[in-house]
Chains A and B, each alone.
Chain A
């Protein structure tokens, strides 16, 4: 031991000393790519908009005001609640929530199936699940548009088989967006759950069965609680990007399936944009996500203490 830690310094001191210097790149990255952008966005949301895009450096609450309050066309009416953007947010939240639920319902059995194959086959199955996702998301979403549009192969096949006599009219609906979201983020659900199930000790299931628990009871009281970190990770990884998605609603959805991602995107695109409003919408979106995560984290610590 003395040879490993000369001068009587404990090894942990040595590692801590090195760590502060070696962690410098990490701090730079976190600062430049995470903290500064968020600070910039927060700042922009409190500035005044320039009509051809960009901002005027003048403090203003106009962006938030515009988001939540309706003061009439000329801004001179008594303020009422502005439902337009709240509706878009609400739609985004339930679309993302539904996509998360669907991914969970399909992803858990899929991950379970893969994790319980023999080691060699697991790699093959994981590859099958992930390879489609090596293709760019835009291309996959456009492909889905071609697949499900009224003249596309899905409708052609169903018409030919005689199951339907009218095209389904899927395209430009909330359902199409849902399909797009579900398909875009499914692997983000499968992979963390797979990792959790692969570590799961199947002796626990045997112990539960030995102690008079049937299959469903075992699933509910033992398996799900033990792999819960994987389920939570999967849900976060699907919910958060779904909430801000703009490709699927843009390409597959119609006017009535407009989502936050598209709303924000529009504010920064071209001359019609409104940067402070886009920044404010992004800040509100981020706050929602953070509140959800904080509530979850609090419930976890409370559970651990109990």
Chain B
């Protein structure tokens, strides 16, 4: 046997699988507290809160595209489910009911759509979800009895925590939610369910060969992406002071898709880093005036083509370089 494993170097574990699970939530909460202490001013805080809200929404999407390898361009539907559920229910039934209702609605839509559509091949599924998103927008615009059409629903209130009010309160709620979903994301990744997703994406026949139901794991991943999207949608509605069709149109679905990919699919920091790039960067590129979306679009193309691992790839390369020079 020694011929196979000759004089192995000191034992090591390259797999990042065993992070201490509370590291990331702890860092997030600490970071959130620091932001409140620094008190960055209303505009910046609003942008940062929007970033965190999108990070919450994109966490499930990170699971979908990073673990299960599924691309959806229709997750705006789930944002809308969360946002409108909040807008309709929060003031009369309280924040918990509103959040839960949005989550349940999104999960049910995702489960139904997933069962029907997830047997499609990659591009077919992507375009089918694009159609789903378009359909969602049409419904939101035209079902005026419930959604009030293009005018949207205003005066939707916001979640009040720790005696705070206004944007800081939404910010804290968003950070707490992000810490929670990040914890769950990491727990999922090291659990049999998450591992089944990853092997099912990497090699479906091999996954089936060890008893994994690939179809089931795909639907589960899609439902999870819907759940966090609904949470994010509720936060976005609170921040905007209302639910409007334009917030939840195809562009937001594309943002959700770009976030994990540009930051590095499946990386546990991808939702936050990606949201910072996708949401905050265009805000701070305003000096480029009309060209900022050109720069943004070109950046997305270049990352997609030449840096498929996203920011994570850079981070890993730098870490490796540092590790090598040290030892």
A joins B in a complex: no
Chain A interface residues toward B at CB < 8 A: none
